[in-house]
Amino acid sequence: MTKREKFIKQKWLPFLARLDAIHKETIRRTQLGYDIAQRLPTQSTLNSLSLECMSLTKEYYGTGNISAIYVFLMKISVSAGITFYDPLPVIMSNDGYLGIIDRNKQQELSQSYRTNIRAEYLKHGGRIISGRSAIDNTIYPNIFLLEHGRRLIARQGVMRAVVKFISLLKYNKVQRKIENAGQLSQSAKEFLWAEICAAIPDMSHTVAMQQFVEFIHKYPGEYFNSSPTQHRMLLFTGLSNNELKAVPRKTMVNITPHRFVKMSYKRQIPLRAVQDGKEVILRDAGAEEIILLRPNEGHYLREHHGMSLASGCQTRIFNLFFPQDPECFKRSNRYPDIEWMVIEALSFNSARDLPNEHAVMVGRNSFTGSSIKQTAHSQLVCATLEEFPHYAINNAPRRMSNLDAIIDFIQIGTVPDACCMKIITKNYSQSHF
């Protein structure tokens, strides 16, 4: 048995078997009608699996590769109904340069998801996070006005108690095993939530406290009015005066359907931009960068379409979270972060020799063409360059010896500024970059 065969048999296949078991459990829960937020594995489980994937591939290759865990997240998200739909067929032009999907079908499925699954979930107390933009749902704000926080905590206990009560009934008219509150009828769930809200009525709050909570949910990971002092003062004042409630993180995960895979790295070069004719530095060299990978709720590219978003470190003190890097959220897609994209590409494609690993392309929409341009993000899809023939076009390539690379400017279409810059290099390590 070769070294490769031994590694695959003893370490890699058992890891893939655990991923497959979790995927099957996700399918089972979805088919039984579990609450949409409780079909996927917990975020802590995904974090552990991601670290294990990175450790195993680093042992095998000498460098980590998380493409297997990325594809796993995409698959279970589709199975759990977290995405609008399975990837739609791509219709290619005759020359192979253009691929489109049925836009009407996409909008139909998207609208159905929003007006049915998502709307029904919200009606019985579920949480669909949407911060700075529609995709900004990877940080779970857990500070609420007192009555709202109490309701969310009560919801978890009441739903669990009802499920337990039904399972203990000697004569269960449902005639099927009830494992999860999601299996209750929509009317039953809405009734329970209405009773919880009636038992914990609305309270009066100061305008400042209402604005504070609204800010936390719209701009998670940032400080109110960009002031750490004012942020902490309002937080502790609200908690001590019984105006605010810190909901436990475990409760938030149980009522929020989104999951992600985390990446981190230390920035080697500053991120520069030109604003008002002056060069500014948006991110300093040496900054600790955190990137969160998540599925795209609507697949409009190829197979396993995901996204990545910048996030920031937070300090946790019991149930309270304090931002450590609020500046990381103030980037937009106007300023492409090439280092971010290179790090991602290396994390997916440093090597590919093990079962269930995939080539993952990393790219970005143009600022003008993005519907969520104020949130810095990259687009991820399982594909290779061969599937996009315009990348193979050459114009006047020139070698740049100082970068050990070839650079080329290529016209795309007839509009004068419709061009792209292509850089080809075999030395794409982070240190070289």
Q: For 269-285, give the DSSP string.
A: S-EEEEETTEEEEEE-T
Exposed/middle/buried for residue 70 (C-beta within 10 Å: 0-12, 13-18, 19+): buried
pLDDT of residue 431: 44
Q: Which residues contact 319 (CB under 8 A, 6 or more apart)?
A: 142, 246, 247, 248, 249
| 8 A C-beta contact, residue 329 and residue 314 | no
Angle, nearest 10°, between helix axes 67-79 and 13-32?
20
Q: Which residue has the tokens 């009525």?
A: 201
Q: Considering only CA atoms, which of 203, 90, 111, 100 is closest in space to residue 151? A: 203
pLDDT of residue 176: 64
Q: Considering only CA atoms, which of 184, 143, 345 is closest in space to residue 263? A: 345
pLDDT of residue 429: 59
pLDDT of residue 171: 58
| 8 A C-beta contact, residue 358 and residue 350 | no
Domain boundaries, the chain: 3-109+256-384, 143-247, 393-433
Please report, as a single letter, which amino acid is at residue 142: N
Taking the alpha carbons of 147, 150, 156, 158 in that order, is the dihedral positive or negative?
negative
| 8 A C-beta contact, residue 82 and residue 41 | no
Mean pLDDT by 10 residues, the chain (433 residues): 94 98 97 94 95 96 94 94 78 79 83 86 88 79 96 94 84 69 93 96 95 94 94 96 94 89 92 90 93 84 84 85 88 84 90 92 80 83 83 89 86 78 74 47
| 8 A C-beta contact, residue 84 and residue 113 | yes
CA dist 429 and 433 (Å) reads: 6
Helices (H), 241-375: 249-255, 338-349
